[in-house]
Structure 1
Amino acid sequence: MRKSTQELLEVLKRSPSLKNFLIENEDDFADITLSEFINSFLSQKQLNKSEVIQSSNLTQVYGYKIFSGERIPQRDKVLCLAFGLKLNLDETQRMLKIAAAGALYPKVRRDSIIMFAIKEHTDLFTCNEMLYELGEDILE
């Protein structure tokens, strides 16, 4: 059974050797790419790439490059994809981690607004309206 993040952190803290830690815990490291993650949600939620790209407000070419793994998007584009994929907050946070884009943080005003929009299952357009009305940069 794979170690949880917290368990892995505890093992790392106690480990006297980084090399041994990496070897002994090889099976516990995240091994999914962003492309694999988002494509798994396509089939899981029975979504169409073209529709997800459109509802994420991405260009077709850029969107397909993300799905194929040719491009790694920046944080705002990952968040746009989260809305297009209709992800919940936990799924969105996981996708942000996989993309190495930094999780949403409730002490950041803009992030709190985005988290609320995700919690309420709004679309990207509605989230952007909320951000704009509250004086924050929209997701684009």
Structure 2
Amino acid sequence: MKLTSKLAAVAVSAGLAVAGLMVTAPPAAAVGGCDANQLCLYRSTEFRTMAFETTKTNECWWLGTYGLTDPWNGISSYVNNLPVNATLYTNVNDAPVGQPLWANTGGIPRGSFSSNSTSNYWFGHSDYICTGSATP
């Protein structure tokens, strides 16, 4: 067998081996263990201590139920794999009559994540989180 034929055979064999590995390779792990189409909130940085997860795209939750507001740690890291934004709200005790009692304090855009969100005051001091167009 000529050298060029041997090299071609080796190249084809190597290509098939690599293709076989690509087919059987496991999928990449989800960020922070948060699955596709989920919103995940963590009480600790670096995606540790998941306290809340949902697949719902138009609902609100009181963060105190999950230990995700003052006086607890708040939302210290997050992953939003939902197709909608998540919005944080806080109670406005002195709202004028007829005005909403809830103020939008920021949000988590769809497709975003943070391993340390502790520098944002509202991630530790908001009362509700809502997905999509839901409001408290």
TM-score, normalization: structure 1? 0.27
**Structure with more strand by fraction:** 2
Q: Which has the higher contact order (CA 8 A, sep 6+)?
A: 2
TM-score, normalization: structure 2? 0.28
